[in-house]
Amino acid sequence: MRADFDAPQIAVLDYGIGNLRSAEKALQHVGADAFLSSDPQNVAEADAMVLPGVGAFGPAMAALRDSGLATVALDFIETGRPFLGICVGMQMLYEDSDESPGVRGLGVFGGRVIELPDTVKKPQMQWNQLKVIRSSPLFADLGESPWMYFVHSFAPVVTADTIATCTYGTEITAASARGNVSACQFHPEKSSESGLALLRNFVGSVQAVRN
């Protein structure tokens, strides 16, 4: 239920993959008027957009495209309004993934998503410490090395868009940003106070843009 219309309205894209309501509820908890929707017109009118995701890259991209929300997401990004990708939602913002050869991502970020090394247990299902390497409003007041919770077997390579890394067998991208688009490989909604603080920072940046 959308009760607070003074709060920034944040659309959580509902394309039928996984438990997307946890992201919606976490955003509501930190002050957003967040709503889960698959209606293109409804989500296009929001102040910001969030693309969560779980599971495999290929099926997630297929569901996003089949729902018509891939085009909606790209059009929304072009407006300059804030956009946040989470977990597989982050991976889909890249060009492609080793998990699903031949499947194209949205291509917002350059580079590809690669499998974690065979030297570590997969998936990484644990807390890991970030290394913030570039300033971002997402990490305001979180320090240089916040702990976040990860559940994944694939992650983006480190590129010029990387704003935070973590080490799990090798150095991988934990968060990225370019212009109005930010993304995180970890699950902020499962990362206790640090994750909620990051989401609160995102909501604050949406409020600042709206005002």
pLDDT bucket at 211, cuts 50 / 70 / 90 = confident
Give the whole-angstrom CA distance, residue 62 versus residue 66.
6
Give the whole-angstrom CA distance, residue 69 versus residue 60.
11
> What pLDDT was estimated at residue 17?
84
pLDDT tens digit sequence for 39-57: 999 999 999 999 999 899 9
CB 50 within 8 A of CB 23: yes
pLDDT tens digit sequence for 4-40: 558 999 999 999 887 788 999 999 999 999 999 999 9
Give the whole-angstrom CA distance, residue 198 versus residue 28.
13
Residues involved in catalysis: 87, 187, 189
> What pLDDT was estimated at residue 4?
54
> What pLDDT was estimated at residue 5?
58
- Residue 174 neighbours by CB under 8 Å, 6+ apart: 128, 130, 148, 150, 155, 164, 165, 166, 184, 185, 186
Residue 179 has pLDDT above 70, yes or no: yes
Give the whole-angstrom CA distance, residue 93 versus residue 41.
21
Distance of CA 5 to the CA centre of its chain: 24
pLDDT bucket at 1, cuts 50 / 70 / 90 = very low
pLDDT tens digit sequence for 115-171: 999 999 999 999 999 999 999 999 999 999 999 999 999 999 999 999 999 999 999
CB 30 within 8 A of CB 189: no
Closest to 53 (Cα-Cα) out of 103, 102, 87: 87
**Domains in the chain, please, with CATH?**
9-210 (3.40.50.880)
pLDDT tens digit sequence for 59-109: 999 999 999 999 999 999 999 999 999 999 999 999 999 999 999 999 999
CB 165 within 8 A of CB 173: yes
CB 50 within 8 A of CB 86: yes
> First and final CA of the chain: distance in angstroms?
23
Residue 3 has pLDDT above 60, yes or no: no
Give the whole-angstrom CA distance, residue 139 versus residue 201.
7
Closest to 158 (Cα-Cα) out of 139, 173, 142, 145: 173
